[in-house]
Amino acid sequence: MVRTEEYQYLGKPIPNVNAVEKATGRGKYCTDMELPRMLYGKVKRSPYAHARILSIDTSKAESLSGVKAVIIGDETTCPFRYGSGLEDEHVLARDKVLFIGDPVAAVAAESEEIAEEAVDLIEVAYEEFPAVFDGDEAFRMDPPAILHEDLKNYKTIASIPPRFSENRPNVFNYFRVRRGDANKGFEEADQVFEDRYETAMIHHVQMEPHCAVAMLDEKGRIVVWGTNQKPYGIQRNIAEARGIPLSSVRMIIPAHLGGGFGGREPKMEQIAVSLVLAQKSNPRPVKVRCTREEQLSCTTTRARYIVEIKTGVKKDGTIVANDMRLILVGGAYSGSGYLTARNAAFGPCANYKIPNFSLDAYGVYTNQRPCGSFRGFGNAEALWGLECQMDVIAKGLNMDPLEFKLKNCIEEGDPNAFGERMHSVGGKECLQAVAEAIEWGKKTEGKKPHLKRGKGIALGNKYSLAPSASAAIVKVHEDGLVELRTSTVDMGQGSSTALSQMVAEEFKIPVSRVRVLNPDTDITPFDQATVSSRSTFNMGNAIRKACQDAKEQIFALASRELGVGPEELDTADSRVFVKQDAERSMHIRDLFIPMVLAGYTLKEGGEILGKATYYQPGVPTDPDTGASEKPASFYMFVAQAAEVEVDIETGKVEVIRFVTANDCGKAINPLIVEGQQEGGVLSMGIGSSLLEEVVTDNGLMLNPQLADYRIPTTLDCPVLSGYKGIIMETPHREGPWGAKGIGEGVMVASAPAIANAIHDAIGVRFHDIPITPEKILWALRAKA
701 vs 680: CA distance, rounded Å: 25
Among 32, 120, 136, 629, binds other proteins (CB under 8 A): 32
199 vs 388: CA distance, rounded Å: 12
Residue 420's Cα: distance from chain center in Å?
Answer: 24
Among 162, 169, 185, 209, binds other proteins (CB under 8 A): 209
The helix/strand/coil state of 307 is strand
182 vs 626: CA distance, rounded Å: 15
The DSSP bridge pattern shows strands 123-128 and 171-179 to be: unpaired
- What is the pattern of x (binds other proteins, CB under 8 A) and - over residues 662-701? ---------xx-xx--xxxxxxx-----------------
For other proteins, the closer of residues 719 and 784 by Cβ is: 719
The residues facing 471 across adjacent strands are 613
Output the smallest distance, CB 499 to other proteins, in A. Answer: 16
36 near other proteins (CB under 8 A): no
Output the smallest distance, CB 528 to other proteins, in A. Answer: 21
Output the smallest distance, CB 671 to other proteins, in A. Answer: 4
58 near other proteins (CB under 8 A): no
The residues facing 456 across adjacent strands are 642
Output the smallest distance, CB 718 to other proteins, in A. Answer: 9
The helix/strand/coil state of 475 is strand
Contact 69, 107 (CB under 8 A): yes
Output the smallest distance, CB 769 to other proteins, in A. Answer: 18
| Cα distances (Å, whole numbers) of residue 367 to 50, 163, 293, 302 | 7, 21, 19, 15
411 near other proteins (CB under 8 A): no
Output the smallest distance, CB 21 to other proteins, in A. Answer: 8
Please choose, from the candidates 432, 462, 401, the residue with its C-alpha nearest in 3D space to the C-alpha of residue 728.
Answer: 432
- What is the pattern of x (binds other proteins, CB under 8 A) and - over residues 76-115? ----------------------------------------
Among 7, 12, 22, 573, binds other proteins (CB under 8 A): 22
Which 8-state DSSP code applies to residue 684?
Answer: I
- DSSP calls for 398-445: T--HHHHHHHHB--TT-B-TTSPBP-S--HHHHHHHHHHHTTTT----
Contact 538, 498 (CB under 8 A): no
For other proteins, the closer of residues 68 and 375 by Cβ is: 375
447 near other proteins (CB under 8 A): no
Output the smallest distance, CB 753 to other proteins, in A. Answer: 15
20 near other proteins (CB under 8 A): yes
**Ramachandran bin of 11, using left for φ above 0, alpha for ψ from -120 to 50, beta for the remaining angles:** left
For the segment 723-742, give every residue that binds other proteins (CB under 8 A): 723
For the segment 277-316, give every residue that binds other proteins (CB under 8 A): 291-292
Q: Which stretch binds other proteins (CB under 8 A): 18-26, 193-201, 410-418, 764-772?
A: 18-26
207 near other proteins (CB under 8 A): yes
Among 44, 45, 148, 204, binds other proteins (CB under 8 A): 204
Output the smallest distance, CB 758 to other proteins, in A. Answer: 20
Quote the Cα angle for 190-191-192, to 5°: 135
597 near other proteins (CB under 8 A): no
Dihedral Cα 67, 72, 77, 83, nearest 10 deg: 120
For other proteins, the closer of residues 16 and 170 by Cβ is: 16
408 vs 423: CA distance, rounded Å: 16
376 near other proteins (CB under 8 A): no
323 near other proteins (CB under 8 A): no
Q: List residues near other proteins by CB under 8 A.
A: 13, 15-16, 18-20, 22-29, 31-32, 204-209, 256-261, 291-292, 491-494, 671-672, 674-675, 678-684, 705-707, 711-715, 717, 719-720, 723
